[in-house]
C-alpha cells in the first residue's frame, strides 16, 4: 500500500482528486438508484396512463348488431410520443363479454400463451365488484402485466373493457431513459472535471506565487511587489503577506542601521579607552596628563556601560512585556518627582504641568517613570524657556492622552518617521536609545507615542489605557 498521503500532494491535485472522487461516488450512487427510481415511477404512472387511455377509448367503444367490436383508434400517450421518439409504444386492449368471450382486441405484438393470459386477465377483471375503474397486476407466462378494467354497458349490452401493458415494455423504456441519462451525465461529468482542473489551477496559482515570493524574501529580496486583485481569502492572505514583507523590510533596514550605529557608539569609547590606556602604559602621559587620561577612561567606560545598560533594558522591555509589574500609579506624584529630579538640569526652563486633581492608572511605575524621564530629558535638552505637559482623561473608554511640548527648535522632518527606532537621533542627541525605550514601554502597556512639529514647538503625544486588559 502506498504511504502517499493526500495532504502531501499539491493543492491543485488535492482539489481535483477530491472533486473526482465525489463525482464518481455521486455517479455510482445515481447509477444504482436511478434505474430503480425510474422503474418505480413508470409503474406508478402506468396505471395513471392506462386510466387516461381507458377514458379515451371508452368513448370510442361501439358494437354492431351482432355485438362485434368496431375498430377503435390506436394512440399512445402524448408525452411518451415526445419522450420515446424511436420507440413505438401503446397499450393493448381486450373487450370481453360477460361470459368471458373475447369480443375484440387490439394487440400490438403477439402475446406468448395469449389464450392463457387473456383468460387470466378476464378472471382478474371479473373478480372486481362494482362499477368503478379497477387496476392491478398479473403474472402469467413469465411476464408481468399491469392492467385497468371496468364493467361497461353499451345500449343495454354489458361488457368488460381491459387495457394492459407488459412490464417488458416498461423495462425497455427504463433502459432507454437510463441510457439517455447516463449519456447526459457523462457529458456533464467530463465538463465538470475540465472545470475542476481549471478551478484547481485558479486557486493554486496565486498560492504558488506566494510561495515563490516567500523564497525571495528568504534570500532578502524585499523589492518584489505582490499585488492580487482579489477580495477573497487568498487576496486577504496576499495583502497580509505584503504587509509582513514590508515589516520585514523595515526590520531588516532597522537591524542594519542598528548594527552600524551600535558599532559607532561602542567603537568610540573603546578607542578612547584603548588609546589612553596604551599612552599610560608606554609613559606618554605623566603627571596631570595621566590624571586627565584616567578621568577620560573612567568617563568613556561609564558611557560604554550606559549604552550597554540601555540596550539590555530595551531588549528586556520588548521581549518580556508580559512580565510587567503592574500596580497602582499616581501620575500626579510621578510627574512631581520627575520635575524635582530634572529641573536642576536646566533651571531656566519653566515647567507647566496641567493634570487633573487625581489621575490613577494601572501600570509598571518604574518603567513608566523611565519612559517619561527619557522623553522629558530630551525635551529639556532643546527647550528655550518653557516645557508644557498636558493630560486629558477620557473616562468613557478608559484612556488618557498626554502631550509634552517645548518651545525649542523643530525636529528634523526626515527624522520624525524613525525617531523612536534604536540609535535614531538628531545632531545633538546622545545615544539614540532613550526614545526607543520610551516607545517600547508605552507599547508594552498597550499605548502609543508619536512626535509632531507644532507651531509653538516640537510635541510628543502619548496615549495610554488607564486599565490593563486581563490576559488569558
Residue 70 vs residues 65, 158, 241: alpha-carbon distances, Å: 11, 15, 87
Decide which of 462 and 50 is more confident: 462
Decide which of 355 and 430 is more confident: 355
Q: How far apart are CA 103 and CA 101, in angstroms?
A: 6
Name the most confidently modeled range: 195-199, 206-210, 327-331: 327-331
Q: What's the chain's average pLDDT?
A: 76
Name beta bridge partners: 329.
361
Q: Please tell me the least confidently modeled range out of 206-215, 243-252, 391-400.
A: 391-400
Helix axes 434-444, 365-382, angle to 10 degrees: 140
Residue 52 vs residues 59, 92, 104, 165, 174: alpha-carbon distances, Å: 11, 14, 20, 13, 21
The answer, yes or no, to whether residue 61 has pLDDT greater than 80, is yes
The answer, yes or no, to whether residue 298 has pLDDT greater than 80, is yes
Please report the pLDDT score of residue 210 as a whole number.
77
241 alpha carbon, distance to own chain's centre: 15
Please report the pLDDT score of residue 308 as a whole number.
73
Please report the pLDDT score of residue 320 as a whole number.
47
The pLDDT tens digits of the residues spanning 277-294 come to: 887 787 777 778 777 878
Q: Quickly count: other Cβ atoms within 10 Å of residue 293's Cβ.
A: 20
Domains in the chain: ranges and CATH: 11-175 (3.30.450), 233-319 (1.10.287.130), 321-465 (3.30.565.10)
Q: Quickly count: other Cβ atoms within 10 Å of residue 352's Cβ.
A: 10
Q: Quick one: cell of 290?
A: 595621566
Q: CB neighbours of 361 closer than 8 A, spacing ≥ 6?
A: 329, 331, 400, 464, 465, 466, 467
The pLDDT tens digits of the residues spanning 7-55 come to: 666 666 777 777 778 877 877 777 777 777 777 777 777 777 777 778 8
Cα dihedral value 22, 24, 28, 33, nearest 10: 50
Residue 90: φ, ψ to 5°: -155, 165
Q: Please tell me the least confidently modeled range out of 89-93, 200-204, 316-320, 437-441.
A: 316-320
Decide which of 250 and 364 is more confident: 364
Residue 460: φ, ψ to 5°: -105, 130
**In whole angstroms, how large is the CA radius of gyration of the chain?**
49
The pLDDT tens digits of the residues spanning 88-118 come to: 455 788 888 888 888 888 887 777 788 888 8
Residue 107 vs residues 55, 92, 129, 202, 448: alpha-carbon distances, Å: 18, 5, 26, 61, 96
- Banded model confidence at residue 424, pLDDT cuts 50, 70, 90: low
Please answer whether residues 310 and 433 qualify as being in contact, where contact means their C-beta atoms are separated by less than 8 angstroms: yes
What is the model's pTM?
Answer: 0.44
Q: How far apart are CA 361 and CA 464, in angstroms?
A: 9
* Mean local confidence (pLDDT), 409-420: 82
Please report the pLDDT score of residue 74 as a whole number.
58
- Banded model confidence at residue 79, pLDDT cuts 50, 70, 90: very low
Residue 388: φ, ψ to 5°: -115, 130
Q: Quickly count: other Cβ atoms within 10 Å of residue 55's Cβ.
A: 11
Helix (H, G, I), strand (E, B) or coil at 351: strand
The answer, yes or no, to whether residue 133 has pLDDT greater than 50, is yes
What is the H or E stretch that residue 35 is in? helix 11-58
The answer, yes or no, to whether residue 86 has pLDDT greater than 70, is no
* Mean local confidence (pLDDT), 174-186: 77
Please answer whether residues 349 and 380 qualify as being in contact, where contact means their C-beta atoms are separated by less than 8 angstroms: yes
Share of residues in the chain with pLDDT > 90 (%): 0
Q: CB neighbours of 238 closer than 8 A, spacing ≥ 6?
A: 206, 210, 226, 227, 228, 230
Please report the pLDDT score of residue 396 as a whole number.
57
- Banded model confidence at residue 405, pLDDT cuts 50, 70, 90: confident
What is the H or E stretch that residue 274 is in? helix 233-281
Please answer whether residues 270 and 304 qualify as being in contact, where contact means their C-beta atoms are separated by less than 8 angstroms: yes
Cα dihedral value 7, 10, 15, 20, nearest 10: -90
Helix (H, G, I), strand (E, B) or coil at 442: helix
Share of residues in the chain with pLDDT > 70 (%): 80
Q: CB neighbours of 112 closer than 8 A, spacing ≥ 6?
A: 141, 142, 143
Amino acid at each position: 500500500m502506498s504511504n502517499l498521503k493526500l495532504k502531501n500532494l499539491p493543492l491543485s491535485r488535492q482539489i481535483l482528486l477530491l472533486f473526482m472522487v465525489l463525482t464518481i461516488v455521486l455517479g455510482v450512487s445515481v447509477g444504482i438508484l436511478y434505474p430503480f427510481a425510474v422503474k418505480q415511477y413508470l409503474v406508478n404512472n402506468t396505471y395513471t396512463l392506462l386510466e387516461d387511455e381507458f377514458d379515451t377509448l371508452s368513448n370510442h367503444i361501439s358494437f354492431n348488431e351482432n355485438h362485434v367490436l368496431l375498430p377503435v383508434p390506436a394512440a399512445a400517450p402524448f408525452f411518451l410520443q415526445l419522450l420515446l421518439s424511436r420507440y413505438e409504444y401503446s397499450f393493448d386492449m381486450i373487450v370481453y363479454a360477460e361470459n368471458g368471450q373475447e369480443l375484440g382486441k387490439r394487440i400490438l405484438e403477439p402475446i406468448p400463451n395469449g389464450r392463457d393470459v387473456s383468460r387470466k386477465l378476464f378472471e382478474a377483471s371479473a373478480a372486481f365488484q362494482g362499477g368503478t375503474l379497477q387496476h392491478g397486476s398479473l403474472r402469467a407466462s413469465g411476464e408481468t402485466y399491469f392492467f385497468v378494467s371496468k364493467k361497461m354497458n353499451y345500449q343495454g349490452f354489458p361488457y368488460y373493457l381491459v387495457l394492459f401493458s407488459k412490464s417488458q415494455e416498461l423495462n425497455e423504456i427504463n433502459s432507454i431513459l437510463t441510457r439517455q441519462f447516463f449519456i447526459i451525465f457523462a457529458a456533464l461529468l467530463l465538463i465538470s472535471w475540465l472545470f475542476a482542473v481549471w478551478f484547481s489551477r485558479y486557486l493554486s496559482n496565486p498560492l504558488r506565487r506566494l510561495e515563490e515570493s516567500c523564497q525571495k524574501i528568504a534570500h532578502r529580496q524585499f523589492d518584489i511587489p505582490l499585488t492580487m486583485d482579489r477580495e477573497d481569502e487568498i487576496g486577504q492572505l496576499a495583502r497580509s503577506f505584503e504587509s509582513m514583507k514590508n515589516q520585514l523590510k523595515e526590520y531588516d533596514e532597522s537591524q542594519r542601521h542598528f548594527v552600524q550605529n551600535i558599532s559607532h557608539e561602542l567603537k568610540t569609547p573603546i578607542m578612547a579607552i584603548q588609546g589612553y590606556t596604551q599612552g599610560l602604559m608606554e609613559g606618554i602621559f605623566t603627571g596631570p596628563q595621566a590624571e586627565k587620561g584616567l578621568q577620560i577612561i573612567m568617563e568613556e567606560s561609564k558611557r560604554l556601560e550606559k549604552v550597554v545598560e540601555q540596550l539590555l533594558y530595551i531588549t528586556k522591555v520588548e521581549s518580556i512585556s508580559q512580565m510587567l509589574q503592574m500596580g497602582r500609579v499616581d501620575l500626579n506624584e510621578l510627574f512631581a518627582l520627575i520635575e524635582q529630579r530634572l529641573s536642576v538640569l536646566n533651571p531656566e526652563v519653566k515647567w507647566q504641568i496641567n493634570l487633573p486633581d487625581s489621575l490613577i492608572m494601572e501600570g509598571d511605575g518604574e518603567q513608566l517613570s523611565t519612559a517619561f524621564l527619557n522623553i522629558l530629558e530630551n525635551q529639556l535638552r532643546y527647550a528655550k524657556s518653557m516645557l508644557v505637559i498636558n493630560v486629558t482623561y477620557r473616562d468613557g473608554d478608559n484612556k488618557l492622552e498626554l502631550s509634552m511640548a517645548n518651545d525649542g527648535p523643530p525636529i528634523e522632518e526626515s527624522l520624525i518617521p524613525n525617531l523612536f527606532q534604536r540609535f535614531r537621533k538628531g545632531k545633538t542627541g546622545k545615544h539614540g536609545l532613550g526614545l526607543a525605550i520610551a516607545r517600547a514601554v508605552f507599547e508594552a502597556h498597550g499605548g502609543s507615542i508619536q512626535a509632531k512639529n507644532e507651531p509653538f514647538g516640537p510635541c510628543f503625544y502619548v496615549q495610554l489605557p488607564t486599565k490593563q486588559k486581563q490576559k488569558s
